[in-house]
Chain A
Amino acid sequence: MTDAISLKGVSKRYKDVDALKKVSLTVTEGEVFGIVGPSGAGKSTMLRIMDLIEPPTEGELFIRGERMAFSGRKADLARRAIGMVLQKPVVLNRSVANNLAYALMIRGWDEEKAAEKVYAELKRLGLHGRRRKNARILSGGEMQRLCFARATIHDPGILLLDEFAANLDPANVALLEEQVKDYMAQDRARTAVIVTHNMFQARRMCDRVALMWDGEMVEVAGRTDFFESPKDQRTAAFVKGESVY
């Protein structure tokens, strides 16, 4: 199997806080990789580095074996092959349809082709009837599903999800998880990295899981091993629901 994402000795320092301490990790193509850990463990920082939004203080990022730069044209192009969904649903101040179209228009899609794709996506999301309304009128769950659709409408091979279903009610969590599973099932080469502090979600969705703690990678294991026979005591405590925050 090919490596989809690889971090080598990645550190990130904000003023006097070490958010990441020499983290190395490889995510294989086709897998759903979960990163769990308490708040402030460095999970989101790692995802922002994987999406080339923030450069690391030191270390290297490889995507499909290619060493990444964090600025310039090459970084822009690499970012375009990745879909990212943040914890807080962020919609642009424009219509539901134009929020979806945005991801295609910035990629230079032909307007007619983009409209067709957006139309099909909105039908699937059940938001077709409100396509001309400003996206800010949607509920939190609808907004997040729209954000997911916007991040994946251009069929990225790598999906990065940062607490994508936090703060949502169970019905919307289920809908979103289904949306993620559907997307992943369409192409076996698609890779997803899911950051979550919800162990149940990690167990439901991920093939392999890693625990991050205070900027360090504590343990990486297959789902069953991670949850049923963790090697590190911090993983064991976390899995049991102790020391979560």
Chain B
Amino acid sequence: MVGTASELLEVTILSIYVSGMATILGSAIGIPLGALIGLKEFGGKGAVKTITYTLYGFPPVLSGLFIYYIFSRAGPLGEFGILFTPTAMILAETLLVIPLVTGITITSVVEVDKAIKDTVKALGATPKQSVLTVMREAWVGLVMACMVGFGRVIAEVGAAYLVGGNIDGKTRVLTTAIMLETRMGHFEWAMALGAVLLTVALVVFFFLRMLQEKEML
């Protein structure tokens, strides 16, 4: 139970840490992957895009199950002993962020005006420089991708519960705490934790929006 201010602070900080790290890791993988899929021509590109968009609906509990299996004692990476730790939660949530960030990045870079892509090439940019320039032009969309990724994981409960275990003082985050408080009949507490969750999201989105609207110079 989240009964004191220090416990609330601990749970809130862990929520931000786990969701933030999952967003950073998922974006570090999803943004380059999305740019590659969006800007490179290759066979089966349409199928890859369809699969990516389909994974938007990847169930958190399935992502949790996958990480649970891999890191369980009998699993292939069981020796790492990270199950029921924040690291396992981060990994499970990263899997949820990757398809979202990849998909939105694909759309963002594809939508950069062809004239800009031609101009950059005509100015003599190498393929790598062209990709980086197009990504910078797609900045608003890329920040949006991170926002959507963060929004998904800060609010999810299935993966965090399955691989974290909702251990008091160790892996309890806001969403798993809300679930627990509701089960125990502490509806006011659960609602209050919900308000904290929304406030955290509001603050993070406020900063991301500022980043998104920053004038490029």
Q: Of B115, B124, B133, B136, which one neighbours A86 at CB under 8 angstroms?
A: B115
B71 within 8 A of A: no
Nearest CB in chain B: distance from A25 CB, A: 20
Q: Mark B102-142, 1 if CB is under 8 A from A, else 0.
A: 00000000000101101111111111010001001101000
In chain A, positions 84-135 with a C-beta closer than 8 Å to chain B are 84, 86, 88, 90, 92-95, 98, 102-103, 106-107, 132, 134
Q: Of B115, B127, B136, B139, which one neighbours A90 at CB under 8 angstroms?
A: B115
Q: Given A53-B118, A94-B217, A134-B215, do A103 and B113 touch, yes or no (CB 8 Å)?
A: no
How far apart are the CA atoms of A90 and B116 in the complex, in Å? 6
Prevailing SS type, chain B contact patch: helix
Contact A94 B124 (CB under 8 A): no
In chain A, positions 163-188 with a C-beta closer than 8 Å to chain B are none
Q: Given A88-B115, A106-B126, do A93 and B121 touch, yes or no (CB 8 Å)?
A: no
Chain B residues with CB under 8 A of A53:
118, 121-122
Contact A90 B113 (CB under 8 A): yes
Chain A residues with CB under 8 A of B127:
76
Contact A93 B125 (CB under 8 A): no
A80 within 8 A of B: yes
Nearest CB in chain A: distance from B137 CB, A: 6
How far apart are the CA atoms of A106 and B126 in the complex, in Å? 8
Contact A92 B122 (CB under 8 A): no
Chain B residues with CB under 8 A of A190:
none
A203 within 8 A of B: no
A29 within 8 A of B: no
Contact A76 B137 (CB under 8 A): no
Interface range on chain B: under 10, 10 to 19, 20 to 34, or 35 or more? 20 to 34
Measured CB to CB, the nearest residue on chain B to A51 is B122
Q: Mark A141-154, 1 if CB is under 8 A from B, else 0.
A: 00000010011001
Contact B215 A79 (CB under 8 A): no
Measured CB to CB, the nearest residue on chain A to B217 is A95
Contact A93 B137 (CB under 8 A): yes
The A/B interface has a contact count, at CB < 8 Å, of 61
Nearest CB in chain B: distance from A106 CB, A: 5
Chain A residues with CB under 8 A of B123:
84, 102-103, 106, 150-151
B216 within 8 A of A: yes
Chain B residues with CB under 8 A of A154:
124
Nearest CB in chain B: distance from A210 CB, A: 21
Contact B118 A106 (CB under 8 A): no
How far apart are the CA atoms of A86 and B126 in the complex, in Å? 19
Contact A92 B217 (CB under 8 A): no
Nearest CB in chain A: distance from B100 CB, A: 24
How far apart are the CA atoms of A201 and B215 in the complex, in Å? 38
How far apart are the CA atoms of A50 and B20 in the complex, in Å? 48
Contact B129 A106 (CB under 8 A): yes
Chain B residues with CB under 8 A of A82:
122, 124
Chain A residues with CB under 8 A of B129:
106
Q: Mark B184-217, 1 if CB is under 8 A from A, else 0.
A: 0000000000000000000000000000000111
Contact A106 B217 (CB under 8 A): no
Contact B118 A86 (CB under 8 A): yes
Chain A residues with CB under 8 A of B139:
93
Q: Of B116, B118, B125, B217, which one neighbours A98 at CB under 8 angstroms?
A: B217
How far apart are the CA atoms of A117 and B115 in the complex, in Å? 26
Measured CB to CB, the nearest residue on chain A to B132 is A106
How far apart are the CA atoms of A193 and B73 in the complex, in Å? 70
Contact B122 A93 (CB under 8 A): no
* B118, B124, B136: residue with the most chain A Cβ atoms closer than 10 Å: B124
Measured CB to CB, the nearest residue on chain B to A151 is B123
* B120, B125, B137: residue with the most chain A Cβ atoms closer than 10 Å: B125
Chain B residues with CB under 8 A of A86:
115, 118-119, 122
Chain A residues with CB under 8 A of B136:
92-94
Question: Can you name 17 A-B residue pairings with CB atoms under 8 Å?
Answer: A53-B121, A53-B122, A79-B124, A84-B123, A90-B118, A92-B133, A92-B136, A92-B137, A93-B139, A94-B217, A102-B123, A103-B123, A103-B124, A107-B124, A132-B217, A134-B215, A151-B122
Interface of B toward A, CB cutoff 8 Å: 113, 115-116, 118-127, 129, 133, 136-137, 139, 215-217
Closest 6 CB pairs of A and B: A80-B124, A84-B122, A95-B217, A90-B119, A93-B216, A90-B115
